[in-house]
Amino acid sequence: MSTSATAMPGAIRPSSSWTGWGQWLALVTMTIDHLTRYVVPASWDLTWAETSIGRIAFPLFAAMVAWHALFNTRNPLRYARRILVIGVIAQFPYMLMPRASDALILNICFTLAAGLAWGAWWRELLERHRDQELSSGWLASGMAASLVVWMLLGNWVEYGHHGLLLVPLYMLAMHHLSHTGETLTERLLAVSATLPVLIVAGLMNSSDMAKSFTVATCLLILLLSAGAARHVPEITMKMPRRLWLAWYPGHFAAIALWLWLAGGLS
């Protein structure tokens, strides 16, 4: 999920050092999740890894997408399109994974790209309304239309309606946390902006263990957004860009090949 290195005009740019560590952690935890789900025999009883370590990946990916959209790119929609391209490439091997249902589900890149586009859309509407370029009626109509799209699209993407909410809610929380002033009102507003993220994270999974790991990951990201990011050192071994872009579709292709050779794909 790459992004350009230029920030949005006028945006505050906190340290992004944590995202270098986040890339490695996201790929490792996602791969562990998918290996335990699709490759490791059920007799090994490693479902605990899927419902614990595996629940770190998605909120971490969503956080990095939201962070880069706010602080490291001039054009969030172009960034969303790049994520979408990865999703299109990954969709065929993703569809080969064994599933309980034959329903068509679009992979996580579609969730992230749609969430980013939605968050950017809301941000633009609110800025135009603040600058009096958009009336309250048009603002309400635009937001209502986006909610209709959210209701429909949530049935087709991985992590569903809750997943689509995570990136825009992260963007809201990160914006307020990075712009927190000295007054009590501003600090309370920043804290209140974090609550929707934590609520959605808690609703995203069914088991208590999965909920705990997802909420804990989101809480850590929010603490980084509140200022802890400046204390994170630069990573010594940065992830190669090609590896970052290719891993998601590539690891699904490798798993599909393994399952086919093992007779797990019909």
pLDDT by residue for the chain (266 residues), tens only, comes to: 554 444 444 445 788 999 999 999 999 999 999 999 999 888 888 888 888 999 999 999 999 999 999 999 989 999 999 999 999 999 999 999 988 677 899 999 999 999 999 999 988 888 887 888 888 888 888 889 999 999 999 999 999 999 999 999 999 999 989 887 778 787 888 889 999 999 999 999 888 999 999 999 999 999 999 989 999 999 999 999 999 999 999 999 999 999 998 876 65
In this structure, what token pair is assigned to residue 139?
């603002």
Q: What is the pLDDT of residue 99?
A: 81
Q: What is the pLDDT of residue 4?
A: 44
Buried b / exposed e over 109-132, threshold 16 CB at 10 Å, is bbbbbbbbbbbbbbbebeeebeee
In this structure, what token pair is assigned to residue 15?
């340290």
Query: Residue 131: left (phi > 0), alpha (psi -120 to 50), or beta?
Result: alpha
Q: Which of 168, 174, 171 has the alpha carbon at shortest distance from 228?
A: 174
Residue 94 burial by Cβ neighbours in a 10 Å radius (0-12, 13-18, 19+): buried
- Rounded Cα distance between 129 and 146, Å, is 16
Q: What is the pLDDT of residue 33?
A: 94
Query: Residue 45: left (phi > 0), alpha (psi -120 to 50), or beta?
Result: left
Query: Residue 13: left (phi > 0), alpha (psi -120 to 50), or beta?
Result: beta
What is the reported pTM? 0.91
Residue 172 sits at φ, ψ, to 5 deg, of -60, -50
Q: What is the pLDDT of residue 266?
A: 54
Q: What is the pLDDT of residue 134?
A: 80
In this structure, what token pair is assigned to residue 63?
């956080």
Contact 204, 162 (CB under 8 A): yes
41 Cβ contact list (under 8 Å, min separation 6): none
In this structure, what token pair is assigned to residue 28?
């490792």
E-assigned strands of 148-261?
Answer: none
Q: What is the largest CA-CA distance in the chain?
A: 63
